[in-house]
Structure 1
């Protein structure tokens, strides 16, 4: 999904509209500017056309919807998916991640209502920044191999709450819904 976000949404959008920012939509994610591309569950959606991601290559999918596949060439922390690589996408996992992104987006909008959450393709996380503090959710990465929410102050903090190298993090197992994620963000704000 990270590679799809980079190769099929962020890259084509950056080349056409100059931004890599993506947004959360119910069950997935989408571009914020042209071209209008969206991933819902395990499908690429363009207009009324729905194309399964699994078994297709990013290059083949891009050709089917008339965009040029490729990563945005402005950062170096890529997912490592090749344009000619057959995608392996599990529908249940795609739905799980879509639900996590949706809950995280809702929590961010509750806690920081004057900000628009952004799904950043380079890290494949959804976040906002307020007063030099990043609030967000991740589907997992090399630091933590399952979804987690985080509070990341730009200036390091000390104490039990601050349990991650970048600030504080809580696993999806501890945050079952948007209300729990928002409560974690609010706790982080209080500790700051």
Structure 2
């Protein structure tokens, strides 16, 4: 599933993660850490908010993302929109920007997050996976190596998993500027993602 609609939906999700979840949570609870939930992602502290597919869920209320603006959604959710002010690498989504979210692609990304988060828990059981809003990826760190999954980005449009040693490695396995990466096409489920992480650990 490639192309413009994937990039648009991912960008909208990223913007919502920053403007409506991580930002309000940081101002209220002092943390930007988000978590994966079935079909999407959620805050870890107050305010309690989550994204499921193409909806922002606030208590019993479901607010459709497509066509709405972060500012409008914030008003409906009774929160203050705004990115966390502790990093500079933002999605670029404006508070007054109409969000473009394809329902099928949102489900596709949600399934990838679910598989990837399950793989991270299995591969590094001592760590709790975190969805970081600045890069919008889910990761853990073990022995100065980052293991994670991304919904895609400017480097690679399709979702991918990665192994990122803090110290650069050389060799055929290490095919990315930050270490090693494999696309969702090569890693269709949690078992395959775990196998990739295990191979990366063995290559260190």
TM superposition score category, shorter chain reference: over 0.9
2:140 is aligned to 128
Q: Given the alignment of the two structures, is residue 44 of structure 1 paired with residue 47 of structure 2, yes or no?
A: no
Q: Please, which runs of 5 or more residues in structure 1 have no aligned partner?
A: none
Q: Please, which runs of 5 or more residues in structure 2 have no aligned partner?
A: 1-12
String of CA shifts for 1:123-168, please: whole Å, max 9, x gaps.
Answer: 0000000000000001111111111100000000011000111100
The normalised TM-score by structure 2 is 0.93
Q: Given the alignment of the two structures, is residue 100 of structure 1 paired with residue 112 of structure 2, yes or no?
A: yes
Q: Given the alignment of the two structures, is residue 60 of structure 1 paired with residue 60 of structure 2, yes or no?
A: no
The normalised TM-score by structure 1 is 0.99
Q: Tell me the distance in 1 between the aligned counterparts of 2:64 and 2:126.
A: 35
Q: Tell me the distance in 1 between the aligned counterparts of 2:153 and 2:100.
A: 18
Count of residues paired in the alignment: 192
Q: Tell me the distance in 1 between the aligned counterparts of 2:69 and 2:155.
A: 28
Report the CA distance between 1:114 and its aligned residue.
1.1
1:185 is aligned to 197
Q: Tell me the distance in 2 between the aligned counterparts of 1:45 and 1:114.
A: 30
Q: Given the alignment of the two structures, is residue 84 of structure 1 paired with residue 96 of structure 2, yes or no?
A: yes
Q: Tell me the distance in 2 between the aligned counterparts of 1:131 and 1:113.
A: 13
Report the CA distance between 1:11 and its aligned residue.
0.4
Deviation beyond 6 Å, 4+ runs, structure 1? none
Q: Tell me the distance in 1 between the aligned counterparts of 2:41 and 2:153.
A: 18
